[in-house]
Amino acid sequence: MFFMDSRRYVSKGGLTILILAAASAGAEVRVLKFSEARQFRMGRVTSNRIVHPDMGARRLTLNYSVSEPGDEFAQHTHGDSDDTILILRGQADMRQGDTRRGFLEGQSAFVPGGQIHGTITTGTAAAEMISFQTPPDMALYTGVRDSSQPGAAAPKGLITPGAVKYVDFANRNGFFVHPGMGAKRIAAAYRKLNSGEGFKAAVESGGEQVLFVWKGDVEVKEKAERHRASYRDAVFMRGPAEVDVINNGGAEAVVIQAQAPPQAGWEHQ
């Protein structure tokens, strides 16, 4: 009989199966190269799933999208999953039914579970965005949430005035999405690191964390291990784990950090 872990099929005895199960449930730190991301499509936008359940994530996902002017990421919901969207470059409108609200480079939108939403790229240049779903929404990758497809039904969900929270993140150096503003399943931080600067990232047992490198490259130190992550790579962590993230380069580095669930004491990190 064959059993599958997150990497391969095995046909071993019961003892080995128990070891694999224990390993998958234990601490983990690994670099996910952007070149290995899988693509999916919603509306006219092609996105890349970097962190997702197929690679072992259970509490959060990370998707990266490039959307050309006028392209729409079709309106949808995530069921009970929250969605945190960041505009890293360019600008877009958040669409909810017939209403639209603009948000720009350096801004984010926190969308609670069940709220209908989509994006339309505005301006004259492509928009680059990332999003985190907490917990993962596998249906997003299958196309069943794509309301732009011929014959597809309109998304069923809520459009509650004020439910979507907009935050400027690029003028901060720390957490901008967190329980204090209504997010119960994620805390997200923006980290700007000059040469030689760093921060400590820790995740408790059963939690997960992602470090997405948007600018430069960083070294991630885990006990005796050293990992390098560069532009658009992600570091995936499952707790209990603790690392030091250091910019050893000569130029500024930018890292976007997401915790699921929010780590105790996030406000002091």
Question: What are the residue ranges spanned by the domains of the chain?
Answer: 34-168, 174-268
The Cα 173–Cα 85 span in angstroms is 18
Mean pLDDT estimate for the chain: 90
Task: Tell me the per-residue pLDDT of 73-117, one tens digit each, with 9 for 90 and over.
Answer: 999 999 999 999 999 999 999 999 999 999 999 999 999 999 999
CATH classification for the domain delimited by 174-268, as one of 1.10.275.10, 3.40.50.80, 2.60.120.330, 2.60.120.10: 2.60.120.10
Q: What percent of the chain has pLDDT over 70?
A: 90
Residue 148 has pLDDT above 50, yes or no: yes
Residue 1 has pLDDT above 70, yes or no: no
The Cα 173–Cα 192 span in angstroms is 6
Helix locations, the chain, DSSP H: 14-25
Output the six-digit token pair for 108. Answer: 């984010």
Cis peptide bond prior to 155, omega within 30° of 0: no
Phi, psi of 24 (to 5 degrees): -70, -25
Task: Tell me the per-residue pLDDT of 5-43, one tens digit each, with 9 for 90 and over.
Answer: 333 333 333 333 333 333 445 789 999 999 999 999 999
The Cα 141–Cα 76 span in angstroms is 12
As a whole number, mean pLDDT of residues 173-182 equals 94
Task: Assess if CATH 3.90.1150.10 describes domain 34-168.
Answer: no
Q: What is the pLDDT of residue 186?
A: 98
Q: What is the pLDDT of residue 265?
A: 79
Residue 264 has pLDDT above 90, yes or no: no
Topology match between the domains 34-168 and 174-268: yes
Task: Tell me the per-residue pLDDT of 47-81, one tens digit each, with 9 for 90 and over.
Answer: 999 999 999 999 999 999 999 999 999 999 999 99
